[in-house]
Amino acid sequence: MKKIELSPKLYVVLIMIFAGAMMRLIPHWPNFTPIAAIALFGGTFLKRKDLAFFVPVAAMLLSDLIIGFHSTMLPVYLSFIAIVGFGLILQKRLTVVNTVSASLGASILFFLVTNFASWTSGLMPYPMNAAGLTEAYIAGLPFLFNGILGDLFYTSVLFGAVFFATNRQAIYIKK
């Protein structure tokens, strides 16, 4: 039987999954969670792309086991998988402006996909026409705002940690 060694990178992946799941379980503003930032981060920095896609899905699944499953899980999970794709694109063009843009794009993508899925599922009390969809999106704007704030905050934390861990000399005063 092959012994599995736990490398520091594997610890980071496990911590990201656990932290993402836990942040969904503690009281928070609606949509103010780190899952999109974790997906963006994984796509940008994890060498093993299978792990980049696995981490946000595992965090969601772990927390959904406790919170409960729902009819719009597939679009939610697919949104996070698409956000990993944003990270894959970002890794070759990593700048502050591009990172902020990717985070904003992630928030907007998640909002558009999940609100559309909720509207089509009949979970929202809006008519199944263009006016009803427009109403659903307008009613969801506070969730978009919270999502943007959460995604920007957690993206700043994760990407900022990498910057400071890899550019320590930048924070020391040179004589």
**Distance between alpha carbon 49 and the CA centroid of its chain, in Å?**
15
Per the structure, the count of domains in the chain is 1
Give the separation between CA 82 and CA 150, rounded to whole angstroms. 18
Written as six digits, the tokens of 118 are 């909720």
Tens of pLDDT along 104-142? Answer: 999 999 999 999 999 999 878 899 999 999 999 999 999
Give the chain's largest Cα–Cα span: 67
Q: Which domain holds residue 109?
A: 8-171
Residue 46 is part of a domain; what is its CATH number?
A: 1.10.1760
Written as six digits, the tokens of 35 are 């899952």
Tens of pLDDT along 4-47? Answer: 565 676 677 778 888 888 888 888 888 899 999 999 999 998 88
**Cα dihedral value 67, 71, 77, 78, nearest 10:** -170
Does 33 reside within a domain?
yes
pTM: 0.87
Does 3 reside within a domain?
no
